Amino acid sequence: MPTFANATDIDQLIAALPPDEQVLVRRLRDLITECLPQATEKAYKGQAMPFYTRHRLICFIWPPSASLEANTDYEKQKAKGVVLGFNQGNLMSHENGVLQAEGRKQVYHMYFKKPGDIDENQLRALLFEAALIDEQFSKKKKR
């Protein structure tokens, strides 16, 4: 069972994940840093996930193994896969229906079980849209 209690560095967090989750998290991380170059990547102590923020939280990656630390149903999370969550998902367009709310009002997400599940063009479009939404929060601060 991986332990994340003392890890605050993203690379340490990823290294503690099972190999199948590492592959997905690394690919998602690469796409996020490519599409959101001005975002800051953060890890919160004891949480096995990277968050990306600029004006507000933009998105996060939640591997199923994080459920072990959060005392949630690991097997249920493992069956769904690695989560890519969008903190302002409620403001994003849902033309293709890939983002899921699952009862949430604001944070929407998508799941990835294997690298082939990642549609890079679709994901880039969503990340660029999330960046545009985040930029709107900058404009609100300046008023």
Residue 72, domain member (yes or no): yes
Q: Please state, in angstroms and rounded to a whole number, the distance separating the CA atoms of residues 91 and 58.
A: 12
User: Does residue 127 register a pLDDT over 80?
Assistant: yes
Q: pLDDT of 18-54, one tens digit each?
A: 999 999 999 999 999 999 999 999 886 666 688 999 9
Question: Measuring CA to CA, how many Å separate 53 from each of 41, 87, 107, 111?
Answer: 7, 10, 14, 20
Task: Tell which wins on pLDDT, 75 or 88.
Answer: 88
Q: Across-strand partners of 43?
A: 50
Q: How confident is the model at residue 95 (pLDDT cuts 50, 70, 90)?
A: confident
Residue 2, domain member (yes or no): no
Q: Which domain holds residue 57?
A: 10-142
Q: How confident is the model at residue 97 (pLDDT cuts 50, 70, 90)?
A: confident
Residue 63, domain member (yes or no): yes
Residue 127, domain member (yes or no): yes
Residue 128, domain member (yes or no): yes
Domains held by the chain: number: 1
* Measured CA angle at 134 (ends 70, 113), to 5 deg: 40
- Could you tell me the CATH number of the domain that includes residue 32? 3.90.1150.200
The pLDDT of residue 1: 42
